[in-house]
Amino acid sequence: MTVSPTFLQWLLGAVTLALALLVILGRNPVVSAISLMGTLFSTGLIFFSVGAQFVGAVQILIYAGAISVLFIFVVMLLDLRPTRVRIPGRAPVYVFSFVVCALFFVAAILSVLPVLRNLGAIEILGLSEAGLDQGPVAISMQLLSKYMIPFQATALLLLAAVMGVVVLGKKNMLSERKQSEQK
């Protein structure tokens, strides 16, 4: 017996896809940023609906809460003008990228399909019902055993990112140093 998606999941999926399309079709970057926030939020709700509550909470807190607010902040700080989505003379680029993405989508679905069929067989045995533990304990067991090195590497990555942001944020560091040397 396979589990079919619930009505709520169909609804959330449609909302997520519509907001994702609004991100790339909106003329105003503010509209794009706010619909990105909506996309991330409704993805978090989908995570809740499949029983991954902890990941859903992290998604909503960090992604929809912090990262997309950073995007909205920067978009409003820079005071960008609404841009045209379609620029004349670039039609080949649009056609090419739509064709490439359609091909990618079909190829990805086809390559995943055998795996999905096998997993359907597993569902018949009821194995997926047995272990649905995706709580903080199960996730941190994985992070602190099998993914220990990547987990530690993200600490270094975040440190490097903080230092990089500080260096980029300082106004004209190099020219200031030159001026102070001339004095």
Partner 1 sequence: MISELQFLVGLGLAIFSVGVVGFLTRRNGLIALMCLELMLNGVNLCLVSFSRHHGNAEGSALVLLIVLVAAAEAALALSLFVSLYRQSGSVELDDFRLLKG
How far is 26 from 119, CA to CA, in rounded Å? 38
Size of the site for partner 1 (CB under 8 A): 90
Write the binding mask 78 to 97 for partner 1: x where contact by CB under 8 A, - elsewhere. Answer: x-x--x-x-x-----xx-xx
Q: Give residue for tokens 């519509």.
A: 18
State the nearest-atom distance from the C-beta of 65 to partner 1, in Å: 11
- CA 153, 158, 159 angle in degrees (round to 5)? 95
- CA 59, 61, 67 angle in degrees (round to 5)? 80
In the complex with partner 1, the residue whose CB is nearer, 145 or 183, is: 145
Is residue 175 at the binding interface for partner 1, with CB under 8 A as the rule? no
Q: Binding residue for partner 1 (CB under 8 A) from 7, 88, 92, 116? A: 116
Q: Binding residue for partner 1 (CB under 8 A) from 8, 11, 46, 88? A: 46
Q: Binding residue for partner 1 (CB under 8 A) from 88, 89, 92, 131? A: 131
By CB atoms closer than 10 A (0-12, 13-18, 19+), residue 160 is exposed
